[in-house]
Amino acid sequence: MHPDLVKLLELQVRDRALLDADHELSAILAEVEALDQQLTDQEAAVTRARAQVADATHRRQEIDLKLENYRKLEERGRQHLEQVRTPKEMQAVNVELDLARSILAKEEAEWIRVAEQIANAEAQVQEGEKRFGMLQEAQVTARTEIAGRQAAAVERRQVALTARAGVAAAVEQSLRIRYERLRRVKSVTVVVALSGAACGSCHTTVPLNRRSQMRAGMLIDSCESCGVILYAGDDVA
């Protein structure tokens, strides 16, 4: 085999190890993210409940103002009633009074309904805050355990990265550039053994003379069909 190919294959092995380390680290970070998401969701529930408390409190203030106005109207109506002189006047004042009282009754019922909403929402805030605290506490052990694995994974990734850089530096430059470019557009495996007379990746037949040259270690060639860098494996006769 061409000596540059031997180094390139070694680089591919190192890159795969680096990729494994990347995946391992990503999986761990995803675990942390899932824990964070649990807290975020719980926090959002509390925020929603707080907004409900604020909304309902605002509505109750509006109702308070209305109640104050209609109570004044009712009071004024009662005073008028004492001053009326004719039955017609009395009837008119009574109509006004009835109206004010019916609106008052409606608004008072609404006030009670809104007060219940506030109490419910406040209970939800309390419950939500309690749950948030419990969740945080429950996550402590998991987070400690994950942090340990994360540190180890970061360490392993760093080792893989250093090893990879060392091997990469030994690969002939133009071949390395070709390899890196292929890796960016293709999958992880871009240096592929011949499978019989064909490319081990896409199974397109490789002409005999080129195969012979590959086997003799004279040629570093790419598959004309899929572009991978080909080599003759030991199992190929």
Binding residues (CB under 5 A) for Zn ion: these are 199, 201-202, 223, 225-226
- State the Cα–Cα distance between residues 90 and 80, nearest whole angstrom: 8
Strand partners, 192: 230
User: Of 69 and 195, which CB lies nearer to Zn ion in the complex structure?
Assistant: 195
User: Of 60 and 215, which CB lies nearer to Zn ion in the complex structure?
Assistant: 215
Helix, strand, or coil here: 222?
strand
- State the Cα–Cα distance between residues 99 and 79, nearest whole angstrom: 16
- Smallest distance from Zn ion to CB 224, Å: 8
User: Of 114 and 199, which CB lies nearer to Zn ion in the complex structure?
Assistant: 199
Nearest CA-CA partner of 118 in 51, 208, 190, 64: 51
Q: Token digits for 11?
A: 């680089």
* DSSP conformational letter for 233: -
- Smallest distance from Zn ion to CB 231, Å: 12
User: Of 106 and 186, which CB lies nearer to Zn ion in the complex structure?
Assistant: 186
- Smallest distance from Zn ion to CB 202, Å: 3
User: Of 157 and 211, which CB lies nearer to Zn ion in the complex structure?
Assistant: 211
- Smallest distance from Zn ion to CB 197, Å: 12
* DSSP conformational letter for 200: T
- Non-local CB neighbours of 50 within 8 Å, separated by 6+ positions: 121, 125
- Smallest distance from Zn ion to CB 237, Å: 20
